[in-house]
C-alpha cells in the first residue's frame, strides 16, 4: 500500500482528498498545524473512508518535525495543501504569507530531498493569472498575481520548476485550482471559514442558515451577461479526484517530470447564477442587494481545463446544482460550521 504525506490534510480541500485517496487504497498521513482546521475532521474522514488517518500536529516550517516524519515513514509522494489562503489578509500581512507559503514549501522540499522522496503535488491557484487577457485561460497564459498570496503561489511554482530542472528524479504536479466550493455529499465535511466569510458560497450558506442577513453582491455593472462577476466554480470532490488522477499520473513511467494543469470546469457562472441556483435547488430564498464592486476583483474568468482531461484523464463532472445542494447540506448539518 502506498503511503502519502498530506500536508494541510485537515483543511477544506485536503480532507476531501484524503477520503478519496483512502477509498482508492492509499494510506494517508496528515501533517497539519491546525491553524485553519480542526483535529475532529479526522473522525469524519474515518467514518467516510473506513480508516483513521494518522494526524501529526505540526508545521511544515519545522524542519526537525519533518525529518522525524520522513525517518518514521516511507512515503511514495507528498500532496502539499498546507498554506494560508486569504487574499486580503495577505495584503495586510505579507511576511506571514511568504514565510508560511514559500518558506514552508522550501523547508518541506529540503526534507523531502534529504529523505529521497521526490514526488509532489502542489496546490496552486488560478490567482496566479491575475486579470487574464481572455477566458478560457490556458496554462500558458502569463502570470499576473495581484496579491502577496498570489505571488507566493507563483514563487513556489518557480521554485518547483527550478528543482525539476536541477534533478530529473523529481516528479512535480502543479495544480491550479479555480474556485473550489461544495462539500462531501454526506454533509459530514465541508468548508469551515473562520469569522465572516470572504468567499461567495460560504456567505450564501450563512445567509440561508440565518447567521447572516443579506448577501452583498459586489457589482452588477460588469461586462457579463447579467452584470455580476463570473467564476469557474468547481466541486471540491471533483478537485479531490483530480489529486488522485495527478498521483496516478506521476507514478507512470512515461510521466513528464513537471506537469502543470488547471483544475476547473471550463465554464463560468455569475454571482446571480449561484444565488438563483442555490435558491431553486434548496428552496431557500437568498436575500441580496447590489453594492459597489469589490476592489481587486476581476470581472470574469474560467479555465481551459482540456489539458487535465488529456493528460490526467480527469474531468470535473459535478454541476452547479450539485455544488449548491452539497454546500447547503453541509451547512444545514453543521450550522455553526465548527465541527470541533
Ligand atoms: P484550508 O485553510 O482549509 O486548508 C489549509 C490547511 O493547511 C489548514 O488545515 C491549515 O491548518 C493548514 N496549514 C496552514 N499553514 C500550515 C503550516 N505552515 N503547516 C502545517 N499546516 C498548515 O484551505 P483549502 O481551501 O483547503 O486550501 C488548500 C490549498 O489550496 C492551499 O494551499 C490554498 O492556498 C490552495 N488553494 C485554495 C483555493 C480555495 O479557494 N480554497 C483556491 C486555490 C488554491
Ligand atoms: N462575491 C460577492 N459577494 C460576496 C463574496 C463574493 O458578490 O460576499 C462575488 C465576488 O465579487 C466574485 C465572486 O463572488 O465575483 C467570487 O468571489 P470569491 O470571493 O468567492 O472568489 P474569488 O474569485 O474572489 O477568489 C477565490 C479565492 C482565491 C483564489 C481564487 C482562485 O478566494 O483565493 O478564487 O480563482 F485564488
* pLDDT, tens only, 120-176: 999 999 999 999 999 999 999 999 999 999 999 999 999 999 999 999 999 999 999
pTM: 0.98
Q: What is the mean pLDDT of the chain?
A: 96
pLDDT at 338: 58
Starting from the CA of residue 207, give the closest ligand. 2
Residue identifier of the C-alpha nearest atom 35 of ligand 1: 123
What average pLDDT does this structure show over 55-63?
98
DSSP alpha helices (H): ranges in the chain?
A: 12-23, 41-49, 63-72, 87-92, 94-97, 104-115, 148-166, 200-208, 236-250, 271-282, 306-312, 320-333
pLDDT for 205-260, tens place per residue? 999 999 999 999 999 999 999 999 999 999 999 999 999 999 999 999 898 999 99
Give the CA angle between residues 96, 116, 14 to the nearest 5°.
45
From CA 80, how far away is CA 246, in angstroms rounded? Answer: 13
Which among 26, 1, 23, 231 has a CA at the least distance from the CA of 121? 26
Is pLDDT at 68 greater than 50 in this prediction? yes
pLDDT at 194: 83
**222 counts as catalytic:** no
Which of 86, 193, 231, 232 for mutating ligand 2's site (highest number of atoms within 8 Å of CB)? 231
Is pLDDT at 192 greater than 90 in this prediction? no
Band of pLDDT at residue 117, cut at 50, 70 and 90: very high
Look at the chain and count its residues.
Answer: 340
Radius of gyration, alpha carbons of the chain: 19
What average pLDDT does this structure show over 286-296?
95
What average pLDDT does this structure show over 269-288?
97
Name beta bridge partners: 297: none
The DSSP secondary structure of 292-320, one letter per residue, reads PPPTT--SB--B--HHHHHHH-------H
From CA 7, how far away is CA 176, in angstroms rounded? Answer: 17
CA of 23 to the centre of ligand 2 (A): 31
262 close to 129: Cβ distance less than 8 angstroms: no
Residue identifier of the C-alpha nearest atom 6 of ligand 1: 8
Band of pLDDT at residue 340, cut at 50, 70 and 90: very low
Which among 104, 109, 258 has a CA at the least distance from the CA of 173? 258
Which among 124, 84, 139, 87 has a CA at the least distance from the CA of 298? 87
Pocket of ligand 2 (CB under 6 A): 85, 87, 125-127, 178-179, 198-200, 203, 215-218, 229, 231, 271, 294, 297
Map residue 55 onto helix, strand or coil: strand
* pLDDT above 90 coverage of the chain, percent: 94
* Other residues' Cβ atoms within 10 Å of the Cβ of residue 235: 24
From CA 221, how far away is CA 228, in angstroms rounded? Answer: 7
Return the half-sphere exposure (C-beta side, CA atoms, 13 A cut-off) of residue 230. 19
CA of 19 to the centre of ligand 2 (A): 26
pLDDT at 339: 62
Amino acid at each position: 500500500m502506498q503511503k502519502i504525506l498530506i500536508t494541510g490534510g485537515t483543511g477544506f480541500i485536503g480532507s476531501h482528498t484524503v477520503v478519496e485517496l483512502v477509498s482508492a487504497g492509499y494510506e494517508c498521513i496528515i501533517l497539519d498545524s491546525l491553524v485553519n482546521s480542526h483535529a475532529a475532521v479526522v473522525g469524519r474522514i474515518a467514518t467516510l473512508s473506513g480508516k483513521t488517518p494518522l494526524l501529526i500536529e505540526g508545521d511544515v516550517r519545522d524542519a526537525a518535525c519533518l525529518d522525524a516524519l520522513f525517518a518514521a515513514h516511507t512515503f511514495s509522494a507528498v500532496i502539499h495543501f498546507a498554506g494560508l489562503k486569504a487574499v486580503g489578509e495577505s495584503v495586510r500581512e505579507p511576511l506571514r504569507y511568504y514565510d508560511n507559503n514559500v518558506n514552508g514549501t522550501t523547508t518541506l522540499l529540503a526534507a523531502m530531498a534529504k529523505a529521497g522522496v521526490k514526488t509532489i503535488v502542489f496546490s496552486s491557484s488560478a490567482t496566479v493569472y491575475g486579470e487574464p487577457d481572455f477566458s478560457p485561460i490556458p496554462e500558458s497564459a502569463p502570470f499576473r498575481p495581484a496579491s502577496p498570496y498570489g505571488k507566493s503561489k507563483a514563487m513556489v511554482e518557480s521554485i518547483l520548476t527550478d528543482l525539476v530542472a536541477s534533478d530529473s528524479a523529481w516528479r512535480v504536479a502543479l495544480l491550479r485550482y479555480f474556485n473550489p466550493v461544495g462539500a462531501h455529499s454526506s454533509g459530514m465535511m465541508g468548508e469551515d471559514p473562520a469569522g465572516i466569510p470572504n468567499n461567495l458560497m460560504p456567505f450564501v450558506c450563512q445567509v440561508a442558515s440565518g447567521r447572516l442577513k443579506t448577501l452583498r453582491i459586489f457589482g452588477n455593472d460588469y461586462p457579463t451577461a447579467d452584470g455580476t462577476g463570473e467564476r469557474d466554480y468547481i466541486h471540491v470532490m471533483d478537485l479531490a479526484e483530480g489529486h488522485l488522477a495527478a498521483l496516478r499520473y506521476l507514478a507512470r513511467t512515461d510521466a513528464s517530470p513537471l506537469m502543470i494543469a488547471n483544475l476547473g470546469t471550463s465554464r463560468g457562472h455569475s454571482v446571480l447564477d449561484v444565488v438563483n441556483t442555490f435558491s431553486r435547488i434548496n428552496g431557500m430564498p437568498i436575500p441580496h442587494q447590489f453594492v459597489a464592486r469589490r476592489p481587486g476583483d476581476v470581472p470574469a474568468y474560467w479555465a481551459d481545463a482540456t489539458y487535465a482531461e488529456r493528460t490526467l484523464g480527469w474531468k470535473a463532472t459535478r454541476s452547479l446544482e450539485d455544488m449548491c445542494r452539497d454546500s447547503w447540506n453541509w451547512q444545514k448539518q453543521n450550522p455553526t460550521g465548527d465541527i470541533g
